[in-house]
Copies of this chain bind each other. A is one copy, B any other.
């Protein structure tokens, strides 16, 4: 049996050295052509599994409580927005709950760091997507010293407890680090500056963050080391090639949904009796 993407892309168990993990490999598929040819069928499969997940939360008997949460993290231009568009875009938007986390508001800052995250969780049967997430509270917050170490350091443990709580409630968390190279980021930033339809995606602050590249890579390494658990493992997705990023994350979502194995639910009513009622009506 072919190795799953869940196995292939899982973050190393021990210490993580991002410099040693490829940003442009394409494990699990031979070529761009093969990946692109496979995508339509994978998209259909993903959409059907999503519909089953949605359906089984609304069926008769005791409806299932499962949901999925896709967490997307990565440096600027790593493709978080592109993943939302191209990967989650094949699913029924009625069953998606997408949240793009920005700098926290004053109200959000006046609460625990998980407060705004809890409000954005997927409901039963939904697929939630976080474009950035609670991990920012151990990434930019750590790199830029937005709170003292005594505050951010305990967050790794708090995050693990939080994600365990989600698992206990039936939420499968799929955490993807979109791993791009520093050179690829430079090219993508320049491409934004060269294209009138992309100027709005560029922010001068992006270069300020880029200049802290080594500190960010270190902060990502710590996050991957300290929060990749059996319950909610991290996946390191080589993301220099957009086609591979989309292909890999589509497969990771399909595999997560296959583990849930959502079923079309039974009727919560007497089908024959209802047919008769409709026919008479």
Interface positions of A (Cβ within 8 A of B): 55-56, 58-60, 81, 84-85, 88-89, 91-94, 96, 98, 100, 129, 131, 186, 189-190, 193, 196-197, 199-204, 207, 210-211, 264-267, 269, 271, 274-275, 277-279, 281
Tell whether, in the assembled complex, residue B94 and residue A275 are in contact, meaning their CB atoms are under 8 Å apart. no
Tell whether, in the assembled complex, residue B278 and residue A193 are in contact, meaning their CB atoms are under 8 Å apart. yes
Tell whether A267 pairs with B202 under 8 Å between CB atoms, given A193-B275, A278-B186, A278-B189.
Answer: yes
Tell whether, in the assembled complex, residue A193 and residue B274 are in contact, meaning their CB atoms are under 8 Å apart. yes
Q: How far is the CB of A57 from chain B (nearest CB, A)?
A: 9
Residue of B nearest to A54 (CB): B200
| Residues of the B chain whose Cβ atoms lie less than 8 Å from the Cβ of A210 | 278, 281
Instruction: Specify which of A88, A265, A275, A281 lies most central, judged by the most chain B CB atoms within 10 Å of its CB.
Output: A281
Tell whether, in the assembled complex, residue A202 and residue B274 are in contact, meaning their CB atoms are under 8 Å apart. yes
Tell whether, in the assembled complex, residue B265 and residue A199 are in contact, meaning their CB atoms are under 8 Å apart. yes
| Residues of the B chain whose Cβ atoms lie less than 8 Å from the Cβ of A199 | 59-60, 264-267, 271
Q: How far is the CB of A116 from chain B (nearest CB, A)?
A: 15
| Residues of the B chain whose Cβ atoms lie less than 8 Å from the Cβ of A98 | 93-94, 96
Q: How far is the CB of A224 from chain B (nearest CB, A)?
A: 24
Q: How far is the CB of A242 from chain B (nearest CB, A)?
A: 15
Q: Once bound together, how far apart are the Cα atoms of A266 and B201, in whole Å? A: 11
Q: Once bound together, how far apart are the Cα atoms of A88 and B98, in whole Å? A: 15
Residue of B nearest to A278 (CB): B189
| Residues of the B chain whose Cβ atoms lie less than 8 Å from the Cβ of A56 | 200
Tell whether, in the assembled complex, residue A197 and residue B267 are in contact, meaning their CB atoms are under 8 Å apart. no
Q: How far is the CB of A188 from chain B (nearest CB, A)?
A: 10
